[in-house]
Chain A
Amino acid sequence: MSVATPAERARNPWLTATAWRNLFRDRPIIPLTGLLLVLVLVIQAVQPGIVGLPWAGVILRASVPLAILAGCQVLTMLTGGIDLSVGAVASMAGFVTATFVNSPGGWVLGVAVALSAAALAGLVTGVGVGVFRVHPLIMTLGMSFVVLGLANVWQLQTVQTGAGVPDPLRWIGSGQSLGIVPNSLLVFVPLAVLILLGLRRTGYGRLLFAIGDNPVAARLSGARAWQVLIVLYVVSAVLAAIAGLIVSGLSNTASVSLVDSSVLPSVAAAVIGGTSIMGGRGGFGGAIVGALILTVLTALLTVVGLPEPSRQILFGAIIVAVAAAYTRVTAES
């Protein structure tokens, strides 16, 4: 009988279940990419010929805003928080920009106002979470009410002046260079690089992990959690606003509830991407793949011809299944 000795197993780590488990835990992006490829293969099998460069472009274009919103969730979840105000803030940003199209300042002023408003909302959220220690769930929830209400008031103020999504936003959001590459990548790639490097290489990124992993230890080693959190929620709100601008360009509409339906998928993308809602573990790379998976999945369910309700059901079931798989491999070790 030739049973693999421990030494042999060490030489060929692919043989053991533990090795797979470790891979899944330490580099979730690899199995996730595998899952993404499987989904692409399935969609190709269901409707041969659909998968191609133009299709990939459309999928990428649809994934960009979701990936950015998932970024907000990753950053906040790393500290043990969550940002439920991304939907309201993102919608507000798109809407406010649209109302400035006919103003003297034009869309540039609109974008500036939108981003400042988002930053202000993020600042208030950050002060609530960081200084007053309000639970992030409650704080961002309350902030989403406030932002939505104020956006509605703004809507009533400006309803006469007319509104439209400015052309540059449409170009960024829905345009594709060479008919394939989405222009939104021009915004997304620098942002993604910034977030990825920021989390890996900067002290601030490490502080996020530290606060989420062990707040007491972080405090004792001199981290000022409240400053980190204030900056974090400002960053998250600005990211959400950028995503909102892209969404309004993509859908060529501006409404105060445009992005609301993306809040739960953004949390789902972050969770699928391996970020723990308990804090201290995760990364943006996984969330990008998570957003791609969700988009491809939606496309697949549409191709299969499932009606919207069944799609929702399957969507939810898959989120639970993936999250359960994660918890299994990360808990036992």
Chain B
Amino acid sequence: MSAVTAPAEAVRAGRGGILLSWGRRNAWTLGLLAFLVVMLAFTKMIQPRYGPIPVQGLATSVLPLALAAVAQAVVVIGGGIDLSIGSMMALTSVVAATAMEGQSAEFGVAVVLGVLLLGLVLGAVNGTLVVVTRVPDIVVTLAMAFVWAGFALLVRPAPGGLAVQWLKDLVVGPIGNEWIPRAAVALIVIVGVTWIPLVRSRLGLSIYAIGSNRLAAFRSGVPVGRTRFFDYVLTGLFSALAGLSLTASTGIGTPVPGPYTLMSVAAVVLGGVSLAGGRGGVFGPIVAVVVLQLVRTDMTFLNVNTNLAVVAQGVILIGVVMVGSLIQMRRARS
């Protein structure tokens, strides 16, 4: 379906302008990527020993938040928001760690599949409630955050459990070259097999459509309720993946939701996804997550109080959004 719009733009821009228009459409992500490169160079400069091992560690620690950001991006693009992502991650993570404890590697595969299914179910419950009750999604998912966190505590009152070895091996350490962290490969594979087919499908286009203008989408025949439902189901799936990666990187399950919900909102906004919906992708948020984590790392290297890193993250978040809205206002005026 997206093929319908792409040639039209290409014609307008001329054949050689395809790259240019692609660049313009992804300007935010490209800018962020450039910023990331600068950050990496800066990190290398202040800490010359910054090499492959820290990069692997960075990738492993970033993976859960990156997947949480993808989960949030999927629902925000559709014009919604999900404040229960952190809780869903906690629930799926404890279920996985508890079920895998002391089991064989083969059983671990079944657990992973089961947990992904659980994620779909959690998302389906969220989606059904949002669509059927018509309560603003922020309220529904806020309340469901309590519910899922409660279930997580019921499964396991204290952190524990054990991930099977192959799951841990998926995200820890390098693969092939020492500069290629397995976690990064895992992230690329996951996004590659889920997101890229999704944006090219009818559902993906419908999600963008209801996000950018719900009424227009409805009048052009997009089933708004059903699309929103599937949007939340997808968020549930990505949350389950994030929860699994949390179990994989820590080796255990933690029933208390981490800061992932709010951080995912921050990453999505930094990543160029409009909170109003309909704009952005998942690559921007992923880069944003890495940038946020690098800021933290750099401040440790610079011997800055780590608490100031929290301040810096807040300031970056606010600052970037302010600049973004300033640019928009400027554009609207001219």
Q: Is A13 an interface residue (CB 8 A)?
A: no
- Residues on B with C-beta less than 8 A from A142 are 266, 314-315, 317-318, 321
Q: Which of B145, B312, B318, B329 contacts A143 (CB 8 A)?
A: B318
Q: Which of A276-333 contact B (CB under 8 A)?
A: 276-278, 307-317, 319-320, 323-324, 326-328, 331
Stretch at the interface among A56-64, A132-140, A189-197: A132-140
Q: If the complex has contacts A134-B325, A268-B142, are A309 and B314 also in contact, measured as CB distance less than 8 A? A: no
B143:A145 contact, CB within 8 angstroms: no
CB distance from B84 to the nearest CB of A (A): 9
State whether A141 and B134 are in contact (beta carbons under 8 Å apart), knowing that A149-B309, A264-B145, A264-B146 are contacts in the complex: no
Q: Is the CB of A317 within 8 A of B310?
A: no
Question: A38 contacts the other chain (Cβ, under 8 Å)?
Answer: no
Once the chains bind, are B317 and A324 in contact (CB under 8 Å)? no
In the complex, residue of chain B having the shortest beta-carbon distance to the beta carbon of A134 = B321
Q: Is the CB of A312 within 8 A of B147?
A: yes
CB-contacts of B141-165 with A (<8 A)? 142-147, 149-154, 157
Residue of B nearest to A277 (CB): B136
Beyond A141-B266, A152-B307, A320-B129, is A311–B313 a contact (Cβ under 8 Å)? no
- Is the CB–CB distance between B322 and A134 below 8 Å? yes
In the complex, chain A residues 142-175 whose Cβ is within 8 Å of any chain B Cβ = 142-146, 148-150, 152-153, 156
The reply to whether A323 and B308 contact each other, CB–CB distance below 8 Å, is no
Which residues of the other chain, A, contact B322 by a CB distance below 8 angstroms?
128, 132, 134
Q: Which of A137, A142, A308, A317 has the most CB of B within 10 A?
A: A142
- On whether the beta carbons of B153 and A312 are closer than 8 Å, the reply is yes
B150 touching A311, Cβ below 8 Å: yes
Q: Check A313–B325 contact: CB distance below 8 A.
A: no
Interface of B is mostly: helix
B310 is contacted by which of A152, A268, A328 (Cβ under 8 Å)? A152
Note all chain B residues with C-beta closer than 8 A to A137: 81, 138, 265, 275
Tell me the nearest residue of chain B to A140, going by C-beta: B318
Once the chains are docked, how many angstroms separate the CA of A138 from the CA of B264? Answer: 11
Q: A145-B317, A312-B146 are in contact. Are A132 and B326 (CB under 8 A)?
A: yes
Asked if A229 is at the interface (CB within 8 A of a chain B CB), the reply is no
Q: What residues of A have a CB within 8 angstroms of the CB of B266 in the complex?
A: 138, 141-142
Whether B133 sits at the interface, judged by CB under 8 Å, is: yes
In the complex, are the beta carbons of B262 and A141 less than 8 A apart? yes
* Residues B278-334 near A (CB distance < 8 A): 305, 307-315, 317-318, 321-322, 325-326, 329
Q: Is B139 an interface residue (CB 8 A)?
A: yes
Which B residue sits closest to A145, measured CB to CB?
Answer: B314
Q: How many residues of B contact A (CB 8 A)?
A: 44
* CA A9 to CA B156, docked complex, whole Å: 56
User: Measured between alpha carbons, how far is A317 from B311 in the docked complex, in Å?
Assistant: 34
> Across the interface, do A309 and B145 meet the contact criterion of CB distance under 8 Å?
no
Residue B269 lies at the interface, judged by CB distance under 8 Å to chain A:
yes
Bound-state CA distance A152–B307 (Å) is 6
Does B135 lie within 8 Å of A309, measured CB to CB? Answer: no
Quote the shortest CB–CB distance from B41 to chain A (angstroms).
26
A residues contacting the other copy or chain, number (CB 8 A): 48
Binary B-proximity of A260-271 (CB < 8 A = 1, otherwise 0): 000010011001
Q: B140 within 8 Å of A by Cβ?
A: yes
B150 touches A135 (CB 8 A): no
- Contacting pair B308 A153 (CB below 8 A): yes
Q: How far is the CB of B54 from chain A (nearest CB, A)?
A: 23
Minimum CB–CB distance from B296 to chain A (whole Å) comes to 11
Contact among B135, B150, B317, B321 with A320 in the assembled complex (CB-CB below 8 Å): B135
B150: chain A residues at CB < 8 Å are: 308-316
Q: How far is the CB of B211 from chain A (nearest CB, A)?
A: 15
| Cβ-closest chain B residue relative to A131 | B322
**Residues of chain B with a CB closer than 8 A to A331's CB:** 134
State the CA gap A61–B301 with chains docked (Å): 47
Assess the A135–B275 pair: CB atoms within 8 A: yes
Q: Are B305 and A156 in contact (CB under 8 A)?
A: yes
Q: Are B314 and A323 in contact (CB under 8 A)?
A: no
**How distant is the Cα of A135 from the Cα of B129 in the complex, in angstroms?**
25
How far is B133's CA from A17's CA once the two chains are assembled, in angstroms? 19
Whether B147 pairs with A323 at a CB distance below 8 angstroms is no
The answer on a CB contact under 8 Å between A268 and B143 is yes
Taken together as a complex, chains A and B put the C-alpha atoms of A317 and B139 apart, in Å, by 11
Report whether B134 and A327 are in contact in the complex, using a CB–CB cutoff of 8 Å. yes
Q: Are B146 and A319 in contact (CB under 8 A)?
A: yes
| Bound CA–CA A83/B318 (angstroms) | 14
* Alpha-carbon separation in the docked complex, A246 to B296 (Å): 34
Q: Can you list 7 A-B contacts (CB < 8 A)? A: A134-B321, A142-B266, A156-B305, A308-B150, A315-B146, A316-B143, A324-B134
The residues of B with any CB-CB pair to A shorter than 8 Å are: 81, 129, 133-136, 138-140, 142-147, 149-154, 157, 262, 265-266, 269, 275, 305, 307-315, 317-318, 321-322, 325-326, 329
Residues of A within 8 A of B (CB): 82, 84, 128, 132-135, 137-139, 141-146, 148-150, 152-153, 156, 264, 267-268, 271, 276-278, 307-317, 319-320, 323-324, 326-328, 331
* Top-9 shortest CB links A-B: A145-B314, A312-B150, A316-B146, A149-B310, A149-B311, A152-B307, A309-B153, A313-B150, A324-B133
Other A-B contacts than A133-B325, A309-B153, 8 sampled, CB-CB below 8 A, are A128-B322, A135-B269, A141-B317, A146-B315, A268-B143, A316-B144, A317-B143, A323-B140
